[in-house]
Amino acid sequence: MVLHGLFGPSLAPKNLATTLVWLHFRGVLVLVLLCAGNFFCFVCPFMLVRQVARRLFQPWLAWPRKLRNKWLSAGLFVLILFLYELFDLWSSPWWTAWLIVAYFVAVLVVDGVFKHAAFCKFVCPIGQFNFAASTLSPLEVKVRDQEVCADCVTRDCIRGRRDPASELVVVQRGCELALFQPRKSGNMDCTFCLDCVHACPHDNVGILSRVPASELMGDPFRSGIGYFSRRKDLAALAIVFTFGALLNAFGMVSPVYAVESWMARMLHVTHEAPVLGLVFTAFLVAEPVLLLGVAAWITRTWAGSRRAMPALMTRYSYGLAPLGFGMWLAHYSFHFFTGLYTAIPITQNAIASLGRAYLGEPRWTLTGLPLRAVQPLQVGFLMLGLTGSLLVTHRLAQDDCGDHPMRAFVPWAAVCLLIWVGAIWLIFQPMEMRATFMTG
């Protein structure tokens, strides 16, 4: 992908880098997260450079305590969304290739200097997307029997399995993300690396089924994370994840151009950056603050919640994650399914450019499914997301206001419905066929 991005065709729909990254990878990513779990972190190619580097030298620093949160990674998540729109990354194989290279370099630098899995837990924006989405997944790495863990004295799942001849020699490393399995709850921060599975001497850790979104409905103490209700950074990640889904889709529909032109005239600017900055501020700051603030105020005054408004906004923000995931599914599935077969002619063309058409001549007529087949699937994903958000917020309302749960539930249900209506409107707008080969 990197080589084709740098030296292949400059036309994005005919280049492996842009087509595989912005079309196929994103579509398969969200579908795997929905059906299974965070298996893309499990097979992350960026970890290859870390493993090779650790054979040459060992990291020596601990990640700074003030940065042990999601603020940096959430900010990088927003930055990638911003650069994606500003530089039209989907249309530039060259920039897409350099983005991949930059990721490899970032992993090498961060994990080459800082111990444990600092990049995965505190830096990687793709990983944070996966963490947020995997809260809705049906599988989780967890213990089979808590009683077995209660009798365990070695705690190999987090310390690593040691050489019997020397306690200083680690034969199999434990969880580098500081998730102690007996106290782990949910998929947040779990990369499915399975180090804990291999380290456990009792075969008591595995990939097991669970109820999707169940970790969002309660607030237990979680190893390596603490309490969700006290993590404003995690709440911010959930908000960026949800409203970023709407923003990313809005950037690809026809009305965005009219809005951006109007804003440019109002600001008397010709560059896209300040206009995009205002759009991002509206979607990721003003809109969430308004919707969540009003809902929190109603919950306090009408339902009688004793929590302060910031605490209410933090707690209920996790209830929006299923709806946000539904929007990502609806959006990415559109590009993925309408360009489902495009990888075939592009791969044929890439091989043919080497001098011999071993896979035959490119069949450029292969594209994907028709829109009439994809839109019902998009609506289904959004309905699934809305149902999940309503279930989660209802459960949170029951725990928060046992005397008047419906009064606490109604304002947050209204927020979910407003977001859902906006999402439905977006998917029925004409959308750009980015990184998709158009026949003709």
Final residue before a domain boundary, out of 185, 209, 233? 209
222: helix, strand or coil:
strand
Percent of the chain with pLDDT over 90: 72
- Considering the domain architecture, whether residues 261 and 390 belong to the same structural domain is answered as yes
- Please list, residue by residue across 130-144, b when 16 or more beta carbons sit within 10 angstroms of its beta carbon and e when fewer do: bbbbbbbbebbbbbe
- Considering the domain architecture, whether residues 146 and 175 belong to the same structural domain is answered as yes
Average pLDDT score over residue span 74-103: 93
Query: Is residue 252 a contact partner of residue 91, using CB atoms and an 8 Å limit?
Result: no
Backbone angles phi, psi at 170, to 5 degrees: -95, 115
Asked, for residue 128, whether it belongs to a domain, the answer is yes
pLDDT at 164: 77
- Considering the domain architecture, whether residues 129 and 11 belong to the same structural domain is answered as yes
Nearest-10 crossing angle of helices 321-338, 232-250: 30
Pairing of strands 166-172, 161-163: antiparallel
pLDDT at 270: 85
Q: What domain range is 128 assigned to?
A: 2-138+211-356+366-427
Residue 175 to residue 148: CA distance in whole angstroms: 18
Residue 6 has pLDDT above 60, yes or no: yes
Q: Which two tokens stand for residue 418?
A: 């407003």
367-397 tens-digit pLDDT? 899 989 999 999 999 999 999 999 999 999 9
Backbone angles phi, psi at 186, to 5 degrees: 100, -175
Residue 167 has pLDDT above 70, yes or no: no
Q: Distances from the Cα of 111 to the Cαs of 57, 89, 114, 192, in angstroms?
A: 11, 26, 5, 18
Final residue before a domain boundary, out of 209, 229, 255? 209
Residue 304 to residue 178: CA distance in whole angstroms: 37
- Considering the domain architecture, whether residues 134 and 161 belong to the same structural domain is answered as no
Residue 439 has pLDDT above 60, yes or no: no
Asked, for residue 323, whether it belongs to a domain, the answer is yes
Say how many domains are in the chain.
2
Q: Which two tokens stand for residue 412?
A: 């947050």
CA-wise closest residue to 131 among 23, 21, 238: 238
Asked, for residue 361, whether it belongs to a domain, the answer is no
Q: Distances from the Cα of 296 to the Cαs of 200, 311, 317, 397, 420, in angstroms?
A: 44, 9, 10, 11, 19
- Considering the domain architecture, whether residues 274 and 153 belong to the same structural domain is answered as no
Residue 288 to residue 294: CA distance in whole angstroms: 10
Percent of the chain with pLDDT over 70: 97
- Considering the domain architecture, whether residues 227 and 263 belong to the same structural domain is answered as yes
Asked, for residue 18, whether it belongs to a domain, the answer is yes
Residue 198 to residue 225: CA distance in whole angstroms: 22
- Considering the domain architecture, whether residues 237 and 319 belong to the same structural domain is answered as yes
Asked, for residue 173, whether it belongs to a domain, the answer is yes
395-433 tens-digit pLDDT? 999 998 878 899 999 999 999 999 999 999 999 988 776
- Considering the domain architecture, whether residues 100 and 234 belong to the same structural domain is answered as yes
**Is-above-0.95 flag for pTM?**
no
CA-wise closest residue to 319 among 403, 402, 409: 409
- Considering the domain architecture, whether residues 256 and 189 belong to the same structural domain is answered as no
Residue 141 to residue 143: CA distance in whole angstroms: 7
Query: Is residue 152 a contact partner of residue 66, using CB atoms and an 8 Å limit?
Result: no
Average pLDDT, the chain: 91
Asked, for residue 437, whether it belongs to a domain, the answer is no
Q: Secondary structure of the chain: what % helix, strand, coil (to 5)?
A: 65, 5, 30
Query: Is residue 226 a contact partner of residue 170, using CB atoms and an 8 Å limit?
Result: no
Q: Which two tokens stand for residue 58?
A: 């060992």
Asked, for residue 410, whether it belongs to a domain, the answer is yes
pLDDT at 52: 81
298-339 tens-digit pLDDT? 999 998 888 899 999 999 999 999 999 999 999 999 999 999
Average pLDDT score over residue span 432-437: 61
Q: How does DSSP assign 324-353, residue by residue?
A: HHHHHHHHHHHHHHHTTTTHHHHHHHHHHT
Q: Which residues pair with 172 in a beta bridge?
A: 161
Residue 44 to residue 47: CA distance in whole angstroms: 6
Asked, for residue 440, whether it belongs to a domain, the answer is no
pLDDT at 440: 36
Average pLDDT score over residue span 156-182: 85
- Considering the domain architecture, whether residues 303 and 202 belong to the same structural domain is answered as no
- Considering the domain architecture, whether residues 288 and 348 belong to the same structural domain is answered as yes
- Considering the domain architecture, whether residues 300 and 272 belong to the same structural domain is answered as yes
Final residue before a domain boundary, out of 155, 187, 209? 209
Cβ-in-10-Å burial (0-12, 13-18, 19+) of 226 comes to: exposed
